[in-house]
Structures are given as structure tokens and as C-alpha cells.
Amino acid sequence: MNISIQDIIHVFSVLFLIYGLIIISGYIFSAFFSIIEIRDYKRKNNFQDEVALLQSANLPSISVLAPAYNEEANVVENIRSLLTLNYPSFEIVIINDGSKDNSLQKMIDTFQLEPEELVHYHYIPTKKVRGIYKSKIKAYKNLRVIDKANGGKADALNTGINCCNHDLICCIDVDCILERNALLKLIRPFLNDTKRVIASGGIIRVANNCVIEDGRILEVRLPGTFIARAQILEYFRAFLMGRMAWSRVDGLLLISGAFGMFDKKTVIEAGGYDHSTVGEDMELLVRMRRIMREQNIPYTVGFVPDPLCWTEVPENKQILMRQRNRWARGTVETLLKHKKMLFNPKYGVLGLLSTPYWMFFEWLAPVLEFVGIVFFIILVLLGQVNFQVFAIFFLVVYSFSVLFSITAIYFEEYSFQQYKKPKYMFQLMRTALLEPLFYHPIVMWAAVKGNIDLIRGKKSWGQMTRTGLGSTTKK
Amino acid sequence: MEFNSFEGAEHWPFILKINLVLSLFFLVLTLAFVALVIYLRIRKNRMEAYRTRFDRKLIEFFNHFLFDEDFKRAAELGDFKFRYLKTAYDHKLAIKQVLIFDENLKGESSEAIKELFNGLGLYKYLLSDLKAKAWYRQARALYALSKLGIKVPEALVTPFLHSNRVELRQQAMLYFLNTSQENPLAFLDDLDRELSLWQQVFIENSLINFDLEVPDFGRWLNHDKSSVVVFCIKMVVSFNQFQNIPLLIEALDHTDEGVRAQAINSLKIMEVTDALQLMTANFPYESPSNKRAILYAIEKIGTAKDLRTLVSAIGREEENLQIDYYKIATRFENEIPVRKLINPDNITNDWADYQYYSKRVLQGA
Amino acid sequence: MVIEDNPMVVKSLEFKLSKDGYDVVVAEDGRTAMKLLSESAFDLILTDLMLPFVSGNEIIEFIKSECPDVPIIVLSTSTQEDIITEAFTMGVDDFITKPFSPNELSLRVKRSLAKV
């Protein structure tokens, strides 16, 4: 008995080491490529002011699509701030996804909307459109409101695609705060490349506790709660290190649902958003890439690292866990749906690097971690743990997590330095020390729970998605 | 392997040793990054403070130079250069200020700014940047030169037109655009890559601010890069070069879909009704998006009759085209019985009815 | 008074106008400008249209209500016709586009002051 447990421990240690090596190589990969990408981006943009030029030019028109479900409290304010975006030619399309509150009436009253003729294209099948509204007032001529039967976020966006006028669409969460030049910056990848650009995405920043006036960030502040600060670190890691690096090797798999621009034609060819998954944003991009690859059309996906979109992250543990639960299910659903791409050299970087990375880091990491902890607890119960050994294992994991976060802080400092006060930097470093102990277990458990829910066949787009539209924002 | 009997580290199993070493390694790296963050922060703050001070000095000096009649220009220039312009960073800041002044002031001041630029030895600095190895220094130098309209030996810039870095190609184009005395678009002749939209934007912008005569774009309407053709078709419209309309009509038969799309659009904007015949003739063979563009061209410059000739060419399954057709038809005459077409459930059936109906209208029944 | 947020333009205007013998007060954003305007009187106001915090039109409206007789000269990068006409209908006296010629500007300032 004793011997066999020893053997298990030994195997466990070796597995731990192998897994650790994979993680470390992932870390080195993202640090390396993202630092190159950030450096290049800085060099490209340090001498010229393109915004002024862009403003004056004939640029492609953009349709901004914003689904709204029960957003009565803020929808009017949010629309007002969207209308002040700095771009020569765009329309705002608000899709009222069968809200149960008074949002529609509120919009009609404030902006003096009147119904338009109910004609729209049928590129993608959707739930029934009840009405299309336009404002009587000239100042709001860029605004259109679509009223439709409830069908979830994906369905709302598809309806927007059917009803909008322009060839580029920018999908956003109605409650996020966009920088005034956000569209000008986000469209740059589309202008720059002679290949077909199918999408471009940006970095999401945490708006909690920032000074906001008229839908604009006046002063960037660090949130007061630990749980929000920990998410700032997470976002640094995910965007400044993760997505930057993926964009360098053109292997980006996810453009945030909160802020991304797409080529409408390609979206329609791919069939639009899939409403059977909770990870509709990730799934769409993966499907678009897959289709381009299968049809052998040269294409690219752009990424803009400037801070353009700010969003409120949950400061409540329950809401956070629900959000992470949803993300975990979205990831797994997407990977399963496109499992053909995994390790498939036919899909190039996507097949050999991106999808395996997502499998190991986004899907399996929390699960394996959880198994490891369960295993450890069993050992404790059996009295088989040498605490010296435990301390060393713990130390290596902990020091690695801290290193990871500190590197991400360094990247922020090197690139955009949004947190101006030195005090904030030190607070963030302190958060980096505490985060692995007090925050990480929460999100890990939420992800594991997401996996369990998925296996138990929980309807993925039931009540969950709807709360998602209302109270939480997707990364 | 004895797990439960550690006496000293030297007896530890291999795995534990590795872990320990790794932890220490991570710890050291972490500390290094913390130090790096602090260092960066301090350096950035220092540089920021230095820059503010230096900028103020530069602005003050420039103002005296430009507006103070009693200012001994030559002597003060030499003095300022000797006393303050030492590092590469100083030069960079000085160039930036010169650019800002140049951007905001015109008239008599423009000449004085050039004098300032040369007097401070910034020309030499830019030349050395241009000859540097790093692409971003070269690009920056080209940018400054083209902004200020300062010429350097052409042999230094021409190679950049074919550089592998898009930024350099772009800045080189800008340079030629802004400094050439005649034919600013000569570089298009031997362009061997497609023009990106962004390049088109800044070329157009430079042309708008161009003092000399804008070239005749007919010259490149047969260029073998389709993006160049697309760009030139757009420019024909922007600069009202009506003499090129026959070439635009020819472009309706171009092999590239994008070129045809741009031709349709431009002819629509220029209201060339003569082009409608060819457009409607091409309609059945066009791509879906170009079919749509043709419909909207008819909306602007055609008649209800032109529109009706296309009914038979729109297939039952082309639902979205039918919707466009419907939108346009209602704008011509309201009594067209297409109102029922808007119901998505039976749109295709209704379309068949409508095709039959319009055939009879066309025959005069 | 000069209302302008570009430090280079501010400094140049301050220098040039002081040379011409005027007392120059600078406000670098809309809020400061409004505060200064309500505290003291000015002979002429030179303003940009793109300012932090307050839009150009709001500034003009504010000046018109606070001190309707003070001449306003707008200094803006905008060359769009509708923006220029809108400014004139709101009652500004002159519109100068950037890039501007400093000598011309000083002449225009002189002329506007002479009119009062």
C-alpha cells in the first residue's frame, strides 16, 4: 500500500513537471512575442499623428451594433455617448432584444423615434423583428433602434447584421465606454492590409472606480476592491501578454464580444453568430478563420493594443463566478465544435498552436489544477504528505504566478502606462502577491463548475445568457 | 527514491531539486522585473520632466526667432545649437517642435522655420537618420522631411519605395508626393505591390493640399495592380476629371470585381447616364454585391423603366436583391404592387408573380 | 484672452501679441476659460473650437451671454464650410484657419479691436 502511493506520488511529480514545462514555454512564448509586438507598435506610431488625417479622409462607413437587454437604467446615456464617437461616417444600431423593462419606450421618447418601413435583408435567420425606428431629429440621424423578440445576444447581433447598412460592423456591449477615437483606431488594420482583413479587436480595460463624465474616462484610477484589482492583472495578462503575442503570430482566436470590428461579408459567409453557444464571440472568429482557411483565401485578423474600450468588471463574487462559468463553457463548446482543427497541420498556426494552447491553458489548466488539489487533499487525509515537499511544490507554483503577473505589470509600464500614480503600481504589485492565494481559487472553481455544468447538460443559453447581457461583460 | 527521509538538500530527489531551483529562478526574475518597472517609471518621469523643460526652451527660442525683430538670428542660432542640442534626444525634440510650428503657422513664418531647421543642424541629423540601419529611424526621418518639404538627394530615398517594410514604403511615397515639383505620382508607374486603403487615404490627402496641378489619372487606369486602378477611379471623381469618363465606362468590363464595383459607384456619383446601358447589360453576370451597386446606380441616375428591365434577371432565390429592388422601386412609384414582397416567408413566390407582372408591363399590356 | 490647448500655439500667440503691446491672458481649457470670463472683463477673445471639457460652440454661447459686446475670433483647424458658417451665425467676428500666418492674425486682431 505504502509503496504504491509512493509510486503515485512519483508519477504525479513527473506529470507536474511536464505540465509545468508546458506552461513555462507558453509563458516564454507570449512574453517574447508580445514584447516584440508592443515595441513595433510603439515604433510605428511614435512619430505621426494619424488621427487628424483619418478624420478628414473618406473612410469606409461603419455600423456599430449594440444589443441591449433590460438596460433601461443606462441605455439613453450610453447611446448619447456612442453618438459622440469621432468618426466621419457611422451609424449606431441598438438592438432591443425583447427587453421586459421600459427601454424601448425610453429610447423612443428621448430620441423622438418613429417607425420605419420594416424591410431588412435575410442574410442570417433570426427571431422576428417587431419594428425598426429612426429619429425625427437631425442630430440623431445616425441612430437606429431595432425592436425584436428575445433570442439572446447572438441572435440580437445577427438581427443587427441583417438590418445595418454598412459593410463593416463593430459589435459592442452597450454599457462599455469607448474612447472617442476608438473607431478610427480599430479600423486601422482594415486600411493597412492588402490581404482581406476579416476582423480586428482591441484591448479591454477595467473601468471600475475611474472618473467618468459624459461617457468618457477623465481619470484612470485603480479600483478599491481586491477582486477588481485582481481582474486588472488578469486583463493585463490576457491582453498585453496573451493577445498581443497571438496577434504577432496571427493566431488570435478571440475578439472580445465587448468590442470588435468585423467584415460583414465574411461574417455572413460564415453564417453569423451561433446562438447555441455561450461563447458566441470566440466561436464566430474561430469559424470565420476556419472557413477562410478551408477556402484558401489569404486573410488576416488585426489587433490594436491602445486602450480603447473600458468596461465595468464584476466586484461581486457570485456574478464573477457566473461570468467565469460561462466563459469556461464557451471555450469548451467552441473547442469541441471545432475539434477537427486541433493539432491539424492543415490549419497552420491555428491548428498547431492556437487551439492546442486554448485547450491546455484555458480549458484544461483549471481542471488539472483542481484534480491536483483533490489529490493533495487525499494525500493529506492518508497522512502521506511531507510538508517540506509540499512547501517546495507550493513555492514553485506561487513564485511562477507572481512572476507572470509582475511581467504583465512590466508590459503595461512599458507600453501604455495608464495608471499614472506610482502608488497604483505598488498596489498592483501587492495584488500580484495576493492574487494566487485569494482570487485564483475562485475563478478556477468557477471554471471547473462550468465544465461540470456542461457535462450535466445545463442549457447553455437559458437564464445565463440573459443575465450576461445585463450585468456582466465579456472579456 | 526515499520520500520520507530528508536530511539535507543533497539527498533530495531530482524533482525536488529542480523545483527548488526553478522557484529561486522565478523569484530572481520577479525581483528583476520589479526593479525594471521602478526603473522605467523613474526614467519615464525624468524624461518627461526634461522634455517639458526643453520644449519650453525650444518654444521660447523659436518665438524669439520668428517674431522678435531685434533678435540676432545667426548668432543666437549658433549659440543655441552649441549650448542645448547635444544628445539625439535633444535633436528629436527639436525636430518635433519644428514640425508642430510648421503645422500651425504659414505665410512669412514658414520660411523662417526652414531657416531655423537648417541653422540648428537638423538637416544633418535627419540625413544621418536616413542612413541609419534601424527602419523606424529611417521612417521617422522621411516623415519629417516630407512634412517640411525638404529635399534630399533622390538616390537616398528611391530604394525605400521597394523596401520590405510597409512603413518605409509609405513614408517614401509621402516624401515624393510632397517634395516633387511635377508629376507627384510618378512613383505609381513602377509600383509592384498593391496600394492599401491607408496609402490611398494619405495620397489623396496630400493631393488635396497640393499646390501644383493634379495629374491626369487616366494614365494609370490600365495599371496592372487593381488597387491602383481603383484608387485612380476614385480620384477621377474627387478631382472631376470628366475627360476620363470613357475610360471609366471601359472599366465596367474590367476583370477585377473591385475595379468594376468602383467604376459603377463613380459613374453613379458623376451621373453618367450613358453608362447605364452597359451596366444593365452586364447585370446578369455580375457578382451579388455589384448587382446591388447597379440597382442603386439606377436609383440615382436611371428611370423606373431601367429598373424594370432587370426584374427578369433577378432570380427567385436572390432574396436580398429583391429587397433592394423593392426599396428602390417604392422610391420611383408607389403604386408598384411589390408591397407584399416584404414578407420574408413568401417573398420568393411573390417575386415570381411580380416577374410575370412586370414582363407584361414592359410589353405594354 | 486666448483660449487654446496646444502649448505651442499658446506660447506663440502670447509672445506675438505681447510684442504687439497687448496684455494676454491664457486659458488652456474650456472650464478655466469660463471661470476667467465670469471673473474679469476682456477686450477680445481668441478661441479654438476643439477644447478639453467644453465644446467650442458652448464656449461661444457662453461668451455671448456673459459679455455680448466682446469681439470673438475663432482659430481652428477646421476648414469645413458648415462649421465656419455656424460659427459666424453664432456671432463670432472672425474665423482664422490653422495653419495661420502670425502677421495676418495680428492685423485681424487689430481690426477687430478697432471696430468696437
Residue partners of A179: CB distance under 8 A and separation at least 6: A185, A217, A306, A307, A308, A309, A310
Asked whether residue B141 is assigned to any structural domain, the reply reads no
Q: Which residues contact B241 (CB under 8 A, 6 or more apart)?
A: B216, B217, B218, B235
One domain for residues B223 and B297: yes
Kindly state whether B14 is in contact with chain A, defined as any CB-CB distance less than 8 angstroms: no
Q: Do C6 and B104 touch (CB under 8 A)?
A: yes
Contact B201 A58 (CB under 8 A): yes
Q: How far apart are CA B41 and CA B128, in angstroms?
A: 30
Interface list for B 324-363 with A (CB within 8 A): 326-327, 330, 342, 344
Q: State the nearest Cα–Cα gap between C17 and chain B, in angstroms.
A: 10
Give a yes or no: residue B317 inside a domain: yes
CA geometry: angle A141, A142, A147, nearest 5 deg: 95
Last residue of a domain, one of B283, B302, B321: B302
Instruction: Please write the tens of the pLDDT for every residue from B245-271.
Output: 999 999 999 999 999 999 999 999 999
Q: Taking the C-alpha atoms of B169, B175, B180 and B182 in order, what is their torsion angle to the nearest 10 degrees?
A: 50
Comparing CA positions, the residue from C82, C84, C65 lying closest to residue C73 is C84
How far apart are the two ends of chain A, measured CA to CA in Å?
Answer: 47
- Does residue B3 form part of some domain? no
| Distance separating alpha carbons of residues B251 and B233, to the nearest angstrom | 9
Q: Quick one: DSSP state of residue A242?
A: I
What local confidence, expressed as pLDDT, does residue A195 receive? 86
What value does the mean pLDDT take over residues A296-307?
Answer: 92
User: For residue B345, how many C-alpha atoms fall within 13 Å in the half-sphere facing its CB?
Assistant: 3
| Interface contact B83, partner C, CB < 8 A | no
Q: Which one of B55, B104, B106, B209 makes the best mutation probe of the C interface by having the most chain C beta carbons within 10 Å?
A: B104
Residues B281 and B320 in one domain: no
Residues of A whose CB is below 8 A from B198: 188, 191-192
Interface contact flag, B6 A194, Cβ < 8 Å: no
Helix boundaries (H) for B86-185: 88-104, 108-119, 122-130, 135-148, 154-157, 166-179
Contact criterion met (CB < 8 Å) for B104 and C99: yes
B271 within some domain:
yes
Contact B97 C6 (CB under 8 A): no
Please tell me the total count of domains within chain C.
1
Contact flag C12-B67 (C-beta cutoff 8 Å): yes
Burial A197-236 (b: 16+ CB within 10 A, else e): bbbbbbbbbbbbbbeeeebebeebbbbeebbbbbbbbbbb
Q: Is pLDDT above 60 for A35?
A: yes
Phi, psi of A57, deg, nearest 5: -90, 165
Q: Nearest-CA distance from C95 to chain B in Å?
A: 15
The reply to whether B284 and B361 lie within a common domain is no
Query: Which of B67, B68, B104 is closest, CB to CB, to C8?
Result: B104
User: Does residue B195 sit at the A interface (CB-CB below 8 Å)?
Assistant: yes
CB atoms B66 and C102 under 8 Å: yes
Task: Scan residues 47-76 of B and list those with Cβ closer than 8 Å to A.
Answer: none
For residue C60, the enclosing domain spans 2-115
Min CA distance, B53 vs chain C (Å)? 13
Q: List the grid coordinates of A100.
A: 421586459
Rounded to the nearest angstrom, the minimum Cα separation between A332 and chain B is 31
How many C-beta neighbours within 10 Å does residue B94 have? 26
B329 and B266 belong to one structural domain: no
- The pLDDT value recorded for residue C85 is 83
* Best-predicted range by mean pLDDT (A85-99, A205-219, B153-167, B329-343): A85-99
How far apart are the C-alpha atoms of A230 and A34, rounded to whole Å? 21
pLDDT higher than 80, residue B4: no
Residue whose C-alpha cell is 429598373:
B307
* Span B318-330, average pLDDT: 83
Q: Where residue A474 falls among pLDDT bands split at 50, 70, 90?
A: very low
**pLDDT tens profile A135-152:** 998 878 889 999 999 999
Mean pLDDT rounded to a whole number for chain B? 84
Per-residue pLDDT band at B3 (split at 50, 70, 90): very low
Count Cβ atoms within 10 A of the Cβ of residue C19 and give its class: 0-12 exposed, 13-18 middle, 19 or more buried.
middle
Best of B29, B102, B198 to substitute, by most chain A Cβ atoms within 10 angstroms, is B198
CB B231 within 8 A of CB B195: yes
Q: Positive or negative CA dihedral for A277, A278, A281, A283?
A: negative
Contact yes or no for B30 and A14 at CB 8 A: no
Q: What percent of chain B has pLDDT over 90?
A: 28
Instruction: At A213, give phi and psi (nearest 5°).
Output: -135, 135
Q: Is residue B244 part of a domain?
A: yes
Alpha-carbon torsion angle B271, B272, B273, B276, nearest 10: -110
Range picked from A281-290, B114-123, B353-362 for highest mean pLDDT: A281-290
pLDDT tens-place string over residues B36-70: 999 999 999 999 999 999 998 998 888 888 888 77
Tell me which of B30, B289, B325, B339 to substitute to probe the interface with A (most A C-beta atoms closer than 10 Å): B30
Q: Could you tell me how many CB contacts below 8 A there are between chain A and chain B?
A: 121
Query: Which whole number is the average pLDDT over B94-119?
Result: 84
Residues 6 or more apart in contact with residue A253 via CB below 8 angstroms:
A246, A282, A285, A286, A289, A350, A354, A355, A358
Min mean pLDDT across A444-448, B9-13, B164-168 is at B9-13
> Whole domain around residue B282: which residue ranges?
217-302
A180 residue type, one letter: R
Q: Does the pLDDT of residue B187 top 70, yes or no?
A: yes
Q: Check if B266 contacts A (Cβ < 8 Å).
A: no
Domain boundaries, chain A: 1-48+176-475
Q: What is the pLDDT of residue B10?
A: 60
Tell me if B18 is assigned to some domain: no
Q: Is the peptide bond before A88 cis (omega within 30 degrees of 0)?
A: no
Band of the pLDDT at A459, cuts 50, 70, 90? low
Q: Which residues of chain B lie closer than 8 angstroms to A237, CB-CB?
A: none
> pLDDT digits over A69-106, tens only?
999 888 998 998 898 888 888 999 999 999 999 999 99
Give the residue, A15 or B35, on which the prediction is more confident.
B35
A52 pLDDT more than 80: no
Higher pLDDT, B45 or A386: B45
Quick check: B67 and C8 CB within 8 A?
Answer: no
Residue B51 lies in a domain: no
A446 contacts A319 by C-beta, under 8 angstroms: no
Chain segment C23-74, per-residue pLDDT in tens: 888 888 878 888 888 888 888 888 888 776 666 777 888 888 888 888 889 8
Question: In this predicted complex, what is the ipTM?
Answer: 0.83
* Residue B76 forms part of a structural domain: no
Q: What distance in Å separates residue B103's CA from the closest CA in chain C?
A: 6
**Residues A470/A70, Cβ–Cβ less than 8 Å:** yes
pLDDT category, A260, cuts 50, 70, 90?
Answer: very high
Instruction: List the single best residue of A9, A168, A194 to mutate versus B (max B Cβ within 10 A).
Output: A194
